[in-house]
A and B are shown apart, each in its own frame.
Chain A
Amino acid sequence: MTGRAADRALALLSPIALLALWEGLSHAGVLDARYVPAPSTVLGTLAAMTRTGELPYNVAVSVQRIVLGFLLGAVPAVAVGLSMGVSRSVRAALMPLVSAIYPIPKIAVYPLIIFYLGIGEASKLSIVALSIFFLVLLNTMAGVLGLDEAYVRMARAYGARGSAVFATVAFPGALPSIFTGLKLGMGFALIVIVGAELLGSDAGIGHLIWRAYQIFAIDVMFAGLLVTAALGWIATAALDWLERRVLPWRA
């Protein structure tokens, strides 16, 4: 108990200590405020942007893109991953394609996607979906393949066939791996959406940072980074919470 409380205190203390050091260095004049604004300045900027509605709007745009793109990529990835895990022939047919496409940095495909789908929302959702699809697929498949043969034998001994084996063994058994894939994917989704918004967008956190660069608003650039970090942290916490709800049988 004390150990966990101490861990939590340390986890809070280290970022606070870093911010305090940064603040102190700014006030002492070691850090030039024109290039590196003090944390208090960045927080002030954040507050001002929140008041004007600029920040909430851009965050909402990015969050919506991540959530929808995530669903668009994860749902088919789980379905295909399960079939590849269960069926040897599906695996044989699709694995070469997956192995070839998986290592391509997805942001490199973005110009092509823009060319096909235009600069609007469709291209943003697609790049997020694409960036997590293979990650979730491979983790789902690995989850099924890692399941002990004994579970399938047990299910079959009690009369489960085809879709029943899928629903009562393959899917629940692979869920822990699926969650690993989703958590890794969440990080990728964030990286890719901010990147895509930097490249071409009229809204979103990435757009906010890019526009700030163009007008040399250094404090706004830092504010954008801070918000991105916070988003990543919240997304991870949300997935952890969901995992505990969906997998009560673990830990």
Chain B
Amino acid sequence: MKTAVLAQPGVALAASAVTHAYRTDRGDIPALREVSLRIAPGEFCALIGPSGCGKTTLLLILAGLPRPAGGTVAVPPAQPGRLASAVVFQGICTFPWMTVLGNVEYGLRMLGVPRPERARRAEAELRRVGLWTFREAYPRQLSEGMRQRVSIARALATDPAVLLMDEPFASLDEQTRLVLQDQLLTLWQEQRPTILFVTHSLDEAARLADRVLVMSARPGRIKADIPVPLPRPRGYRDVRRDPAYGAFTARLWDELETELERRVP
């Protein structure tokens, strides 16, 4: 199916009736079933679901790799020097053979942004994530949390219309995760990028997002679309003390638990 370019105002990213299957030697395994979603410009949307439900597949399809077997995806139109959507990956998120600066400049290099502008934009993002002094270092010399910040800086340097984040903090320790969540919230408040944030953490979804999409067990579909009733800014202590937070995460667990039970054969 074709990836349509977005025309409607008020929608930054949309999928309609997206269906996909994994090809294996023993036939196709359905991965996504009739997934539809719309995300408004500047909205912070979280996507949760049982593991193996196709969250990452959906995110990659929204990023344009691969093409879905059925349905359409609408992304913002391409602009010179700007990525329509930038992906922040989990786990392996940097190229070990490039310096920190090389990693952050990568997307700009692929976009064909001229060298001086590339350097300027990469520097701005590296300063934002506090890694400018590490620009000549290689990923191996950094901590996991620092590498993840490098990959966020790489995504932001491409000035994406949509930021697609695939469990970016999943492999970090709890404290580093809280710090990076704070930084992401600050960034979002300042710049208002459109974000789709895949996570398996109910707490993370509740703390960060405006709205949480809950996916069913495989083949995944969106089974619930719940606005987050918590005020912003969402400082860790305030959120944790808010009774609505407990009620909301409990509600998310209600939605998820049945899916996990369904998943067990």
Contact = CB atoms under 8 A, between A and B. Distances in A.
Interface in A198-251: 247-250
Interface stretch (A39-47, A105-113, A166-174, A184-192): A166-174
B124 to A, nearest CB: 18
B111 interface: yes
Given A150-B91, A249-B97, A250-B140, A158 B107 contact: yes
Contacts of A164: 110
Interface string A147-169: 01011011111111000100011
Interface string B67-99: 000000000000000010011010111011111
B110 A154 contact: no
A67 interface: no
A175 interface: yes
Contacts of B110: 155, 158-160, 164
A249 B138 CA distance: 6
B194 to A, nearest CB: 17
Interface string B96-125: 111100000011001100000000000000
Contacts of A158: 83, 86-87, 106-107, 110, 154, 158
Interface residues of A, number: 21
A159 B111 CA distance: 7
A154 B95 contact: yes
A145 B111 CA distance: 27
A153 B95 contact: no
A162 to B, nearest CB: 12
A167 B87 CA distance: 21
Given A157-B65, A249-B140, A172 B97 contact: yes
B101 to A, nearest CB: 13
Nearest to A164: B110
A157 to B, nearest CB: 4
Interface in A127-160: 148, 150-151, 153-160
Chain B's interface size range is 20 to 34
Given A157-B65, A157-B87, A249-B138, A151 B95 contact: yes
Nearest to A157: B87
B159 to A, nearest CB: 13
B89 A150 contact: yes
B46 to A, nearest CB: 20
A168 B87 contact: no
A154 B63 CA distance: 11
Q: Which of A151, A157, A173 has the most CB of B within 10 A?
A: A157
A247 B65 CA distance: 31
B230 interface: no
Given A164-B110, A248-B138, A250-B140, A150 B92 contact: yes
Nearest to A161: B110
A157 B106 CA distance: 11
Nearest to B110: A159
Contacts of B107: 158-159
Contact of B93 (A154, A159, A172): A154
Given A156-B65, A158-B107, A249-B140, A175 B97 contact: yes
B59 to A, nearest CB: 10
A157 B95 contact: no
Interface string B4-42: 000000000000000000000000000000000000000
Contacts of A173: 97
Contact of A148 (B86, B92, B106, B140): B92
B222 interface: no
Contacts of A247: 97
Contacts of A156: 65
Contacts of A175: 97
Interface string B131-144: 00000001110000
B178 to A, nearest CB: 25
Interface of B: 60, 63, 65, 83, 86-87, 89, 91-93, 95-99, 106-107, 110-111, 138-140, 154, 158
18 contacts: A151-B95, A153-B60, A153-B65, A154-B87, A154-B95, A157-B60, A157-B63, A157-B65, A157-B86, A157-B89, A158-B83, A158-B158, A159-B107, A172-B95, A173-B97, A248-B138, A249-B138, A250-B140
Sorted nearest first, the 5 A-B pairs with minimum C-beta distance are A159-B110, A150-B92, A172-B97, A249-B138, A158-B107
